[in-house]
Amino acid sequence: KMTRNFHDFYRQHLIRSKYRNQKRPILINNWEATYFDFNTEKLLDIAKLASQYGIEMLVMDDGWFGHRNDDSTSLGDWFVNENKLPGGLKYLVDEVNKLGLKFGIWMEPEMISPDSELYKEHPDWAIAVKGRTGTLSRNQYVLDFSRKDVRDCIYEKIRAILNSANIEYVKWDMNRQLSDLGSMDLPADRQGELYHRYVLGVYELQERLLAEFPHLLLENCSGGGARFDPGMLYYSPQIWCSDDTDAIERLKIQEGTMLLYPLSTMGAHVSDCPNHALGRVTPFETRGHVALAGTFGYELDITKIPEEDRQQIPAQTAMYHKYNDLIRRGDYWRIASYLENGSYDCYMVASKDKKEALITYVQVLSRPNFHSRRVRLKGLSPENRYRIEETGEVLGGDVLMQAGMLIAPLWGDYRSRLIHLTEA
C-alpha cells in the first residue's frame, strides 16, 4: 500500500511534464550499438531500419561534440563535431524526421573535461579545494553549478544546440560523484553551502530549459539510477534506471525502483545479447517483457542483431501500445520476488477500476520434473469475473486471488510470459 501511495502521489502531484499522462515515444539509443564510433551515415542506417519496425525516436548518445572519441575529452565543449556529423545537427535531424522519427540527444551539462576548450578558459569553474589538485573521476571534473556565471554559460550552449534543430528529447547525464568540495566563488566560512547550492543550481538550469522548451521530454540520468530522486521528477517525468541492461539483472533493479517510483518514470530498454555488462544471453522475448515495465525502448544496433530477433520488434512495439496506458496509470502489485526466491519473478499492474490487469511472469531458472507453479493474484475485485486473454478461460476475481492460477513450466532458463485479464 505504501508503494501505491507513493506512485499516486508522484504521478498526481509531483510530475508536471506534459508527458505525465502520455505514452513516451519508443526510442532506439545508439550507445550500446556504436559507443563513440559513429557518423551521420551510421545513425541514418539505424534510423531507416528502425522506422520500418515501429520505433518512433532515434537518440544520439555520447560522442557527437568537441573532439570526443573516448571519455577523456570535450565535456563542456557543446558544439557539434562535424568530422563525425558533416552538415551538423540540422542535416542529421532533418533526415531522421523525414523517416518519420523524432530525434533526441545525450548531454552531460554538469561536467567538464580537463581536455576541453572550456576548462582551458575557466579552470576555476571546476569544483575543487583551493590550492589543491582536484580529483579526476571518469577523466572529468564537476562544474560549480552554485555559480550563476557557470550556469549561464552552459545554458547558452545547450540553448544553441536545441535551437539548431528539431530536438524533442534530452538525456541529461551526470556520471560522477562530487568530491573535493570547494568553490572559488564562496568565502571560506560558506564553503559548506556548496552541496546545497549545487543542487539548487541544477534545479534552476532545468527550470530555465523547460520554460524555454516546454515541448522537451527530459530524462535525467546518473550512471543509471543515481538520479532517482523525487526532486528530479519535478523536471523530468522519467529517469534512466541503470546502465546494467541485462533483463535478469533488471528484475532485481526494477523491483527496488518500483518500490517507490511509478513504472512510468523508469527508463528501461531492450538491449543486445550477449549482454554488454555481463555476457548473459537472454531470449529477445524476455528482454521485451522486462523492459515493458518501464518507458520501453531499444539499446542495440538494429542493423546487426539476428533476423529472428529483429522480426520480433513489431510485435513488441504493438505490445507496448496495447499495454502502456494500463502500466502507466495502474496499481502495481508484487506477487513474487526473484531477489528473494532466486528462481522466478512475478508482478502485475491492475487498472484503477479493477477491470483489467497484466501479469508479468519470468522463470529465471528452469526445474526438472516440475508440474506447475501456483500464482495468487492481487488487486482484483472479488466480485468481478475475468477472462484470461491467452486461453479464453473465465474465472472469478476471488478465485484468482485466493486459489490462484497455475502456470506451467516454460522450456529453458530466462523465459517469460505475459497474462492479460479483462472483465468478462
Instruction: Give the residue numbers annotated as catalytic, written as ranges.
Output: 173, 243
Helical segments of 10-85, H only: 31-34, 40-51
Separation of alpha carbons 143 and 133, rounded Å: 15
Cis peptide leading into residue 274 (ω within 30°): yes
Neighbours of 189 (CB within 10 A): 7
Residues 6+ apart with CB under 8 A from 233: 10, 14, 15, 239, 261, 265
**What are the φ/ψ torsions at residue 143 (nearest 5 degrees)?**
-70, 150
For residues 193 and 145, is the Cβ–Cβ distance under 8 A? no
Neighbours of 313 (CB within 10 A): 23
Residues 6+ apart with CB under 8 A from 229: none
**What are the φ/ψ torsions at residue 393 (nearest 5 degrees)?**
-65, 140
For residues 114 and 71, is the Cβ–Cβ distance under 8 A? no
The closest alpha carbon to 102, from 297, 242, 267, belongs to 297
Q: 422: which 3 cell numbers?
A: 479483462
